[in-house]
Amino acid sequence: MARIVSSDEKLVPGEFYVTIRTADSQRFTIVHANMDATVYNLKLALSDWMQAYPEDLDIIALYPIADKTFLHTIHPDHRHLIVIANVPTERVPSRYLTSTSEKRTLNLVQLAAEHIPMMESWISCNLFEQLELGCDHPRIDEILLTLGEIILNPAITSIQTIHFRRSFVDTHLPMLDMDVLYAFYQITQTRNITILLDPSICNNKEVIEYGSLLAQYCY
């Protein structure tokens, strides 16, 4: 076992420590490990800290170290280790994954502008059932235009639901253009994808399915 600890936490019997820093030396932490801990156990401990999957991490002492290496076999003078993240383009940053949802969800509410071009790779290589989008996102129209082209790809078959979320108070006007939303909805209907809206996006007071809202306006 290996675990990140605070700088003043004492070792328990049978444990030793390694120090970890990123390649740019901007971040530093201490990990306590027992005699059974391997380099892969260390990667598991560092996964959340690095916001990367264990498989995307490299651990380096004076040389790269194999996952099966027991940490205690590294000489104490060499236990000042460097961690490097090598994230493939199709690998989704963990902050965009919602683990509590019943559906496998890609949460793009806070999508960084530089990641907009990455959506196609993420969606193509992962079986996401639900997408979450921020109607308050300053580039939501661009996101929808890009996402519409992705959805039209016949290879994309797993998406069942797209849920538009609100990040700000009700008095803050959504950035989402209603004409753009309607055009996007027409695209999603060709793939039988359900559009859900959080309250106060289209004067709705509760979460509502966009198709049902349109039907109300038609009668």
What's the pLDDT tens digit per position in 25-54?
888 999 999 999 999 999 999 988 887 788
Whole-number pLDDT of residue 180: 92
What's the pLDDT tens digit per position in 75-93?
999 999 999 887 666 778 8
Which SS3 state, helix, strand or coil, does residue 197 take?
strand
In this structure, the strands spanning 161-165 and 130-134 are parallel
List the Cα angle 169/171/174 in 5-degree steps.
Answer: 80
Instruction: Name the residue with tokens 């306006």.
Output: 217
Is the separation of the CB atoms in 147 and 181 below 8 Å? no
Whether the model clears a pTM of 0.75, i.e. scores above it, the answer is: no
Is the separation of the CB atoms in 146 and 119 below 8 Å? yes
Which SS3 state, helix, strand or coil, does residue 91 take?
coil
Whole-number pLDDT of residue 217: 62
Whole-number pLDDT of residue 101: 63
Tokens of 71: 């940490």
Instruction: Tell me which residues of the chain have a pLDDT lower than 50.
Output: 219
Which SS3 state, helix, strand or coil, does residue 217 take?
helix
User: CA 100, CA 102: separation in Å to the nearest integer?
Assistant: 7
- For residue 39, give Cα distances in angstroms to 1, 14, 43, 107, 181: 10, 17, 6, 31, 48
User: CA 121, CA 124: separation in Å to the nearest integer?
Assistant: 5
Residue 24 parent element (H or E): none
Partners of 70 in the β-ladder: 38
